[in-house]
Amino acid sequence: MKYALVTSLLAQSIAVLADLHLLPVQFKAPSVAHFQDIIRNDAYDFGCRPAVLPTTGGFILHAFLTEVQIEDFTKGPKSADLTLHRAAIKRQEDTAPIGTGDRFKDGTVTPLGLGTRDVGARIDTLLNVNEIRSAVKALANTYGVSILNLPYKTFEGATQFAGYVGGGSDKSKYHLYLTAGSHARERGGPDQLIYWISDLLAANKSGSGLAYGQKVYTHPQVKSILDAGIVFFPLVNPDGVAYDQKTGSLWRKNRNTKSGTGIAAGVDINRNFDFLWDFEKYFDPTVFPASTEPTAQNSRGTAPESEAEAKNLVSIYKVFPKVRWYMDIHSAVGDILYPWGHDEGQSNDTAQNFQNAAFDGKRGVVRDTKYKEYIPSTDDSNLRTVAANAVAAMRAVGGRPYSSGPAVGLYPTSGGVADYSFSRYWGVKGANKVYGFTLEFGYPTNFYPTLQEFNENILDTNAGFTDWALSAIQVGLT
């Protein structure tokens, strides 16, 4: 079914010249199929992925549009079943403030999360970019966390770093790997990761457990997670985060200006990994899992891992060769996703796999019969089990809704890090098998949470991380 929409090129051209302030909107329709053509419009901003949710009498699709895009859609020809509604609340207003200065005083004051504080305690400001580094430095000074400086500098010259703890000096003893801050506007991810590590270390040192709302964990559970060996890369996109915190512009990409200035700057890091990156070759021509347009929010870059941020994330797999479980932290939907994200999965036909050129040009169409990506049934079960346990933990904290499922959802993606991480076992000689997950915290399109929501997100995700790790340990680290 087709609906008359503005072409992507026209919409992008208009947006470049117009007010670029993004406004939260909802498309409403009686069926999911009504949204297919809208999702193909890569000038529209759907966040990490299109979030379609059931509502009374049909479904809603969340998005961010400019005033020009809203006006153009409203005036243009379209199906009467497909309507556009402005969100009642502009989510980028009344947001949690960003910290000023350095609360950790260049690593001399140790961060402390919510899991080791009294019930009702809260954190009053988001971490700024400098504080993220200072916090990890403090964890190193207090608890002996090791810091790994990563080999590639960002476009604006930032040196990136990761922390690792629990496995000692033997890098083959590290099995859990978490990243945050890939999409700049998704505020709170780096905070959640740092405060979780802080909680684990503080509880382990004191011999106590953790409590996140209604979820309580024992000291032996805390110790088992640290013993599994944790690698954490808390700020994948420092240039983008610094820019977003300065401008409040809902900036998503990095700040690479080789493709142009304004909205033509930047690459979506989570479309830049070496997994079916060349979607024009690998995917059905009717789907667009990323974009070649520099102005698009999901602009893929000039080549797989063209960006320093992606190179650095991948380099960690080479340093820690026995990582088995990977989690990438994003917002804002309210779910945990796992492979595959480029097509639906199946466990019967091994020939239908991402390396088989016979299926080039056929991938990515959801609910078709031409192609579904092979996934071993045991791997599929492991992914589903661990995701479900983590979601149950997040729900238990305070009762907020979360779900889990394959990442492909309504529409596919290419060059994503979770699929890349899982695919390495087959695509990179000698690579360990890695189970890749994406956690989408918060509410749909709520990239700038209020202070209350920011604290709720910390509690929810930290419980989710804890159960994710415990479930991973139970399934197996090797």
Helix or strand holding residue 139 (H, E): helix 129-143
Nearest to 363 by CA among 405, 412, 406: 412
* Coil vs helix vs strand at 403: strand
What is the average pLDDT across 236-244? 98
Which domains are delineated in the chain? Answer: 8-86 (3.30.70), 97-478 (3.40.630.10)
Read off the pTM: 0.92
What is the average pLDDT across 337-357? 98
25-41 core/surface letters (b: 16 or more CB in 10 A; e: else): bbbbbeebebbbbbbeb
For 98-142, write each residue's pLDDT tens digit. 999 999 999 999 999 999 999 999 999 999 999 999 999 999 999
306-326 core/surface letters (b: 16 or more CB in 10 A; e: else): ebbbbbbbbbbbeebebbbbb
Residue 424 has pLDDT above 60, yes or no: yes
Q: Which two tokens stand for residue 119?
A: 């019930």
* Coil vs helix vs strand at 226: helix
What is the average pLDDT across 339-361? 98
Q: Which two tokens stand for residue 357?
A: 């050129």
Residue 20 has pLDDT above 70, yes or no: no
Lowest mean pLDDT among 64-78, 271-285, 313-327, 424-438: 64-78
What is the reported pLDDT for 18?
Answer: 35
Query: Which residue shows structure tokens 């006006």?
Result: 71
Confidence of residue 93 (pLDDT cuts 50, 70, 90): low
What is the reported pLDDT for 9?
Answer: 33
What is the reported pLDDT for 90?
Answer: 54
* C-alpha–C-alpha distance, residues 204 and 220, integer Å: 9
What is the average pLDDT across 444-448? 86
Confidence of residue 148 (pLDDT cuts 50, 70, 90): very high
What is the reported pLDDT for 54?
Answer: 83
What is the reported pLDDT for 89?
Answer: 56
What is the average pLDDT across 446-462? 96
Amino acid at position 18, single letter: A
Q: List, by residue number, the catalytic residues.
A: 440
Residue 170 has pLDDT above 90, yes or no: yes
Half-sphere CA count of 412, side-chain side, radius 13 A: 30
What is the average pLDDT across 145-165? 98
Confidence of residue 80 (pLDDT cuts 50, 70, 90): confident
What is the reported pLDDT for 12?
Answer: 38
Nearest to 42 by CA among 72, 16, 83, 12: 12
- String of DSSP letters for 426-462: HHSTTPPP-EEEEEEESSTT--S--HHHHHHHHHHHH
For 26-76, write each residue's pLDDT tens digit. 899 999 888 877 877 767 888 777 777 788 889 988 888 888 889 988 888
